[in-house]
Structure 1
Amino acid sequence: MTAFTFTAPHSTVFGRGTRAEAAERVAALGHRVLLVRGRAVDWVDMLHDALIGQGCAVESVVSTGEPDLDSVRRGVNAARTHSADCVVGVGGGAVIDLGKAIAALCPSAGNVADYLPSDGTPPRQFADPLPTVAIPTTAGTGAEATRNAVLGLPGTGAKISLRDARLVPDLAIVDPALTDGAPRGLTLASGLDAITQLIECYLSCRATPITDALTQSAISPAVAALKTLMRNEDPAARDDMARASYLSGLALANSGLGIVHGLASIIGGRGGAHGAICGRLLPAALDVNAAALRSRGLSSARIEEIDIILNRHFGDSATSGSAALRHFIDRHELPALAALNLHNADKPEVANLAVTASSTRANPVSLTEDEIALILRDTD
């Protein structure tokens, strides 16, 4: 049997109402808390007060969008000034990634930029991070279980990832109720992100028996849940999507992803919403990967399994699963690539860059630049 390792949060608390445990659990990790948060979730104010009630000194950092080098620098300075001994990230994937980056770089001396990959130069090794707690308020990225933090580089249109197994949070508190009533567009894009992650991890050339178990148990319920949530609000479906998002984070931390995320890492640097990009690219990526596997005499059985699941939930026997997914996202008005800041003239450059993107390396088959270009051509 092929050897493998498995990385996960030291502790995970999952279920409706589990946010009520957050203050006590955070206080067990540290009493000088840096609270990294977005603006949209009122419950964070209640957590702030509950932490103070636990005897914690709390300093807040507000995330205003996708984290970049400047926001990490500001957060690290705030953590050092506060003498933080614990970082809590409450929000979507961007907020949690910012919290993870701050927790990692706060204890490390020198310039924050020295610890990030740049132009092929190996980054400095950062010190052991501060204890980190992740509390997601969206169901999509699985950032509460991953070993990376995605950051933008101001003025370059590029994104980089701070990667280290020590970035996996010490504690993940996943309360699906925090996603209840999320806007329809956000639910669609974030749900497609989670589904894409599950599918790419299942297809990954680095998949392991553990990641297979995680993804196989979650793909079909996640697809069904997203279909339900596009019709009406449903707590059980929110629970399934939160579970899918968390499991997708566990899986990607241990198997890697594929060409969809390889492309999305480049397109997203141009300003497009990550989940929407992934959802748009997934149908064409499944078709191109299947054709590439067959052309090389390799098995496409796993893609055929995914096609059956997508067809069962989104289509009928007269369509393929990828075609059914296309119809579903069109019907629910997921933005096209042009609306996500990728125009036809830019596609050749993006295809070229995606060949060597880190996520592309875990794709089930090595794709040529022409095959990657075909994904982009067939997406809109």
Structure 2
Amino acid sequence: MRSAEDTPNVSSVRWVWLAAVPIVSLFVLSNAATVLYAVWQRDMGFSQSTLTWIFAIYIVGLLASLLIAGPVSDRIGRKPVLLPALALSVAGCVILLFASSVPALLAARLMTGVAVGAVVSCGMAAVADIAGPHRRRLAALLSSSAMVFGSGLGPLFAGLVANTAPDPVTPVFGTVLVLLLASLLIVTRMPLKPQPRREGPLIRLPSVPREQLIHLVLGISVFAPGLSGGSFFLSLGPSLLYEMDRETSTATAGSLVFAAFTAATLVQFAARRTSLPRILTGGSLSTVAGMAALYAAASGNSPSLLFVAAVLIGAGQGAGQFAGFTLLNTAVPAHRLAAANSSLSVGAYLPAAMLSLTAGVISDAAGVAFSAMALAVGLAITAAAGAIGIALIRDRLPRI
């Protein structure tokens, strides 16, 4: 049971939904660049491996932020972390508006990664704080689905603009800038109480209470393979689609990514009343099926199968993400929640970053299709192992 001290604020459902808007806006910023990389590659002339490094620098900033932002937010409050993070995202968005070199892209992506890491940890905790103890599952649903909805909306919007505008960068990031400024206003007005003073170091590694460790491990076992597959679609999915069909438009490439993250969003709402053991098992099996479809698409040069893979992998990511954050939201004390969210995200994003970087290096040496097939085999084995592990301990899983 949580004490009143552990629950900073209980507010209206309207504010619970509004609190998820900054999460959407950060992930729109993060992933709108996906289909615009082709524009920057054409203008700047960088290689596929450079593109992967641009993606990887974002993950570096994200992971560094996750290690710090969550624990700091649990100590000093949500707004003192969220406001600087959003200000940094505004600066990164402005750089992307005027970027004309690879170093500018690297700087903007690093800043974006830092901002997203802060929002993933303490932004999601802020949603839970505002929701209160009786709406913890709703808070997990809204904040988790906000991540994947923003991740899909960004590429779709950018792809549609790039398909019609000769210079898509300006209208895309100009619009995102307005969304980020609106999010700053929302955070300044969030009905959050200050965090009570707590003893201990301000900077420490994120962690979960010992009794919730099994929840964290279960969440990572399903979330990480799905996220790794989703990260492939963000970094190299459009390139694979262009390789399959040279006539592919930027709108179609954006739709590929949107399909993955729309599936990730919808599956969370569909599963909101399903038991967590079923969600975890379903997430693992969906990822396995998605990897099989990805292998078949890459080996058979089939764009239609690539879309099937995107939907299945997205569903696997969404299910694992929702189950993981729900396990933490409903079990971890409020004053440890941001650090717990950071722990889950680090456990999922770190392998995703390593696999995406490896996939980029392999694609330069052997082609994007071969890279996709190698990734599919590895992640299918990992996801299948997770499903087997969940089946073996199914009776001991928490029934939430």
Greater strand proportion: 1
Same fold (TM over 0.5): no
With structure 1 as the length reference, what TM-score do the two structures score?
0.29
The normalised TM-score by structure 2 is: 0.28
- Greater helix proportion: 2
Larger RCO (CA under 8 A, 6+ residues apart): 2
